[in-house]
Amino acid sequence: DIQMTQSPSSLSASVGDRVTITCRASQRINSFLNWYQQKPGKAPKLLIYAASTLQSGVPSRFSGGGSGTDFTLTISSLQPEDFATYICQQGYRTPWTFGLGTTVEIK
């Protein structure tokens, strides 16, 4: 199975901060990398697919980058509604696998 490793596992930040989260795949996955936002008690919500394409309706302060094995999710200016857990997922090979998530907390 392809292992997805996210770092950091959690971070504290303030409204307006720029935040970057990293996801590393255990083997090359081209650009088959997606990012989700999950809030407590809710289903994940797709933010970015194909490593860098913003899902319809997602604010432009979210951006994604990378290819191969190393990927990033950046929030350019953190908003109060962005405090959540962010999860990466590879769709290159079954079984499709997810990272354990990065929790963004209020400083």
Positions touching another protein (CB under 8 A) are 32, 34, 36, 42-46, 49-50, 53, 55, 87, 89, 91-92, 94-101
Judged by beta carbon, residue 15 or residue 100, the one nearer another protein is 100
Answer yes or no: are the C-beta atoms of 11 and 20 closer than 8 Å: no
Burial class (CB in 10 A: 0-12, 13-18, 19+), 38: middle
Shortest distance, CB of residue 40 to another protein, whole angstroms? 11
Shortest distance, CB of residue 36 to another protein, whole angstroms? 7
Judged by beta carbon, residue 17 or residue 69, the one nearer another protein is 69
Burial class (CB in 10 A: 0-12, 13-18, 19+), 14: exposed
